[in-house]
Amino acid sequence: MIMIRIMIKTKVNPTIMKTYLITLISLFFALNTWAQLQTVNMNTRDNSQDHSGKYYKDIDDNFDPFIGVWQGTHQNTTMIIDISKAVLGPSPSNNYAQDFLVIDIQLIEGMGTPMEMVICNTAAAYSHFDKLIRSITHATTYDGVTMSGFLDDNCHPGNSAGGIVVMNIQNPQASPLTATWEIEKKGIVAKTYPGEPDFVIPTSIVLTKQP
């Protein structure tokens, strides 16, 4: 009887109820869509074909060599990048999914000195977004040696610089792994953003994978 009285007297906030219903509908859509997706090796993706109903998965584990923390220094700036795997999609407007490599980045001036200063930390500055959204790039690799993708340098104050990043592991058998990191404005990116600012993120640096 006590529980019944409490339920009768408790009024449900319409806003909370609406949010709850939207969440349930979104969850139902996601689960239902995932259940219908066909898992496909992403190395077989053909952009001339229809992608509907497919999940392009890193079945060959080509992402593994890149996943982890990498570090390198250019002049007085140390760059630390944290690479992980995420799945983009499906959504109501995009009914397929694909594995991507996503990145958090820190730029530190004078690392290890009394003048040490963090000039960019995407994980902190954009912590209200999950890593998939705040990532500076959605990159892919098809051979476990070369990673590439469009990059948005959101470390730039008030604006961002766009380009293409290519990260190339120098010797896949080495320990620790090292890789070159190159950013270039070219192709459609350079044409889309004329007169944009220079990059804050180092455009050419050698990175070492951390233990």
Q: What is the pLDDT of residues 18-60, one digit of tens each?
A: 444 444 444 444 445 545 788 999 988 888 788 888 889 999 9
The answer to whether residue 94 is domain-embedded is yes
Tell me how many domains the chain contains.
1
Q: State the burial class of residue 100 (Cβ atoms within 10 Å of its Cβ: 0-12, 13-18, 19+).
A: buried
Check residue 194 and give its pLDDT.
61
Check residue 91 and give its pLDDT.
63
The answer to whether residue 87 is domain-embedded is yes
List, as own/partner pairs, every contact residues 131-137 make where C-beta atoms lie below 8 angstroms and the sequence separation is at least 24, other chains included: 131/84, 131/86, 131/102, 131/104, 132/86, 132/88, 132/100, 132/102, 134/104, 135/86, 135/102, 135/103, 135/104, 136/103, 136/105, 136/201, 137/101, 137/102, 137/103, 137/165
pTM of the model: 0.77
Q: State the burial class of residue 194 (Cβ atoms within 10 Å of its Cβ: 0-12, 13-18, 19+).
A: exposed
The answer to whether residue 173 is domain-embedded is yes
Check residue 5 and give its pLDDT.
38
Ranges of residues in the chain whose predicted pLDDT is under 70: 1-35, 91-93, 157-159, 186-197
Structural domain for 154, as ranges? 2-45+55-209
Q: Which of 62, 199, 32, 54 is nearest to 140 (CA)?
A: 62
The answer to whether residue 50 is domain-embedded is no
Structure tokens at 113: 């000195």
